[in-house]
Structure formats: structure tokens, C-alpha cells
């Protein structure tokens, strides 16, 4: 991302430097990201979710997630991690109970309002969801286009983040020309480029080697330190143990909050 417009991603590596974090926080505040209220950015109250067959995947889920928090989302394959992420991205509606995002009841939002809310959320889908007819650069720059940024600004920012995730030589390739791990990094770059208030990442490091996985985790950590609520679904126990953030564990269709430290 450009220095003029905000965050220099290279500096995320030094995110523990208090002065830098404070500066970024001020920039986020000035760029319109609300840092004022203590209201949860996500609030679930007795939510139940099912697909067409009517069998509940998630039952009686109650959970408040705050800005500047970091959660690992865990559970066995088929437990419902992607379902929860889909729900929080408003791709699924609760069959019962209440879901509030940014303080608003999702069931009362119009389709336009849902689009606006989604612009404030960065999502990394488990199957990437890249647009095959667009180049890598265009895929990553797309959220900035939706926000109305100039072509020059969005290309500059997209190149910078792609460089940072190690794809500086892939700008003009198409998704089908990339490996799974490369596609995953493109999806992550696209999710963070707008500095969203919420990041939902579904197995974002499942296809990359350990060195890149650590680098990507530092990126999510940096976003969290800057005020974003980050949720990372993962099977990697080593990450959950290493970073010792709070854990939302899905077992038997219910969630269990472990080590709740509110991501600090």
C-alpha cells in the first residue's frame, strides 16, 4: 500500500515498535475506521444455522467479538468452520437467533447495505474465489476499484502487497496459471488491501510452506494490532499454540471459547 495513502506493509515486520503502531492507529482513525465505541463488531445471539437439508450445522451460538481482537477458529473437518465464516460474511442467514455486524441486525439489512458492509470485511475463502478472467493484479486491486480509487492508486497498492506476499513476478498472470499456495496468497492480498475492519480467513496458510505461513501470520497479526478483528480458521495446532490467542473451537455443532484473552 502506498505510503501516501496509509500503511507501508514492509513495516509490519516491526509491528512491535509502539511508535509505529500508534502512528498506524491514528491513520486508520483519520481514514474513517471507527475506533470510538466499545460495541462488538460481531455479535451472535443463540444463532442456529443449517443448509437446505434442515440439519443444524451450528446450534445456539452466542459470541461477541471486538475490534482489535484475534481468534483462531478450530474444529475437525466438517465441524462448521467455513459455515461460520460464510455466516459472518452474510452469505448465509441464521435460521434462528440474531446476528449483528457493526452493531446492525443483519436480517434487517437491504441487499445494498449488505454490499456496503462487505466492503468493510476482508475474506479469504477456503477455495480462494479468485476471478479467472482477471489478472492477479486486477483481482487484488478489485476491492479498491469498488471503493472508487483511481487506477494508478489501486495498481500501486496492489503491486506493493503482491510484492510483500512474494508474488511480485506474477502481476500479469491469471489465477489458473498459479499454484494453490500462490492463489492463496493472492486471496490474502485481496482481503487485506482495503485495511478492513474485520478479516475472515478460512485456512489461509493451508497450502504454503512454513516460512511463508509465518510471514502471512505476521501480516494478520499486524492488521490485528492496527485495530482489525481477525478470525483465522486453521487446522494447524502449532499456530494456535505458538501465538496463544483466543480460540473458538467448534465441537458437536457448538462453539467453545478457549483462552479468552480478547486477542490481546
Over the window 125 to 164, marking each residue x when it contacts Mg ion by CB under 5 A and - when it does not, the resulting string is -x--------------------------------------
Q: Extract the C-alpha cell encoding 31.
A: 481514514
Nearer CB in complex with Mg ion: 83/228: 83
> Helix axis angle, 180-192 relative to 210-225, nearest 10°?
10
Choose the one of Mg ion, ligand ATP, none that binds residue 205, judging by a C-beta under 5 to 8 angstroms depending on kind. Answer: none
- φ/ψ of 41, rounded to 5, equals -80, -25
Nearer CB in complex with ligand ATP: 56/166: 56
Q: Tell whether residue 51 is a contact of ligand ATP (CB under 6 A).
A: yes
Task: Compute the half-sphere exposure of residue 143: CA atoms within 13 Å on the CB side of its CA.
Answer: 25
Choose the one of ligand ATP, Mg ion, none that binds residue 135, judging by a C-beta under 5 to 8 angstroms depending on kind. Answer: none
Nearer CB in complex with Mg ion: 82/205: 82
Q: Tell whether residue 81 is a contact of ligand ATP (CB under 6 A).
A: yes
Nearer CB in complex with Mg ion: 125/245: 125
Do the bridges between strand 246-251 and strand 70-74 make them parallel or antiparallel, or are there none, so unpaired?
Answer: parallel
Q: Extract the C-alpha cell encoding 125.
A: 475463502
How far is it, in rounded angstroms, from Cα 218 to Cα 14?
A: 10
Q: Tell whether residue 75 is a contact of ligand ATP (CB under 6 A).
A: yes
Segment lying near ligand ATP (by CB under 6 A), choices 38-46, 70-78, 115-123, 216-224: 70-78
- The closest alpha carbon to 31, from 7, 10, 12, belongs to 7
Minimal distance, residue 93 CB to ligand ATP, in Å: 14
How far is it, in rounded angstroms, from Cα 11 to Cα 22?
A: 13
Number of residues binding to ligand ATP, judged by CB under 6 A = 11
Nearer CB in complex with ligand ATP: 42/87: 87
Q: Tell whether residue 184 is a contact of Mg ion (CB under 5 A).
A: no
Neighbours of 134 (CB within 10 A): 14
Identify residues 69-88 at the interface with Mg ion (CB under 5 A): 81-82
Beta strands in the chain (DSSP E): 42-50, 56-65, 70-74, 96-101, 104-105, 121-124, 198-202, 229-233, 246-251, 254-258
Residues in contact with ligand ATP by CB under 6 A are 51, 57, 75, 77-83, 126
Amino acid at each position: 500500500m502506498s505510503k501516501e495513502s496509509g500503511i507501508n506493509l514492509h513495516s509490519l515486520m516491526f509491528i512491535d515498535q509502539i511508535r509505529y503502531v500508534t502512528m498506524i492507529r491514528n491513520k486508520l482513525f483519520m481514514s474513517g475506521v471507527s475506533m470510538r465505541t466499545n460495541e462488538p463488531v460481531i455479535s451472535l445471539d443463540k444463532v442456529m444455522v443449517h443448509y437446505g437439508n434442515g440439519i443444524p450445522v451450528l446450534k445456539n451460538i452466542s459470541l461477541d467479538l471486538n475490534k482489535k481482537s484475534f481468534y483462531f477458529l478450530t474444529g475437525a473437518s466438517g465441524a462448521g468452520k467455513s459455515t461460520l465464516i460464510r455466516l459472518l460474511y452474510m452469505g448465509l442467514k441464521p435460521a434462528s437467533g440474531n446476528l449483528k455486524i457493526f452493531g446492525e441486525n443483519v436480517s434487517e439489512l437491504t441487499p445494498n447495505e449488505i454490499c456496503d458492509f462487505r466492503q468493510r470485511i476482508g475474506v479469504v475463502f477456503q477455495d480462494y474465489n479468485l476471478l479467472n478472467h482477471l489478472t492477479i493484479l486486477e483481482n487484488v486491486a478489485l476491492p479498491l476499484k469498488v471503493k472508487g480509487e483511481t487506477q494508478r492508486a489501486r495498481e500501486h497498492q496492489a503491486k506493493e502487497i503482491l510484492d510483500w506476499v512474494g508474488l511480485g513476478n506474477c502481476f500479469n498472470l491469471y489465477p489458473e496459471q498459479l499454484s494453490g499456495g500462490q492463489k492463496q496468497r493472492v486471496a490474502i492480498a485481496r482481503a487485506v488491501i482495503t485495511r478492513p475492519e474485520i478479516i475472515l480467513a478460512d485456512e489461509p496458510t493451508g497450502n504454503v510452506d512454513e516460512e511463508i505461513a509465518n510471514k502471512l501470520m505476521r501480516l494478520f497479526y499486524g492488521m490485528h494490532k492496527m485495530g482489525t478483528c481477525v478470525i483465522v480458521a486453521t487446522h494447524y495446532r502449532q499456530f494456535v499454540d505458538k501465538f496463544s490467542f483466543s480460540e473458538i473451537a467448534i465441537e458437536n455443532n457448538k462453539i467453545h471459547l478457549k483462552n479468552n484473552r480478547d486477542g490481546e
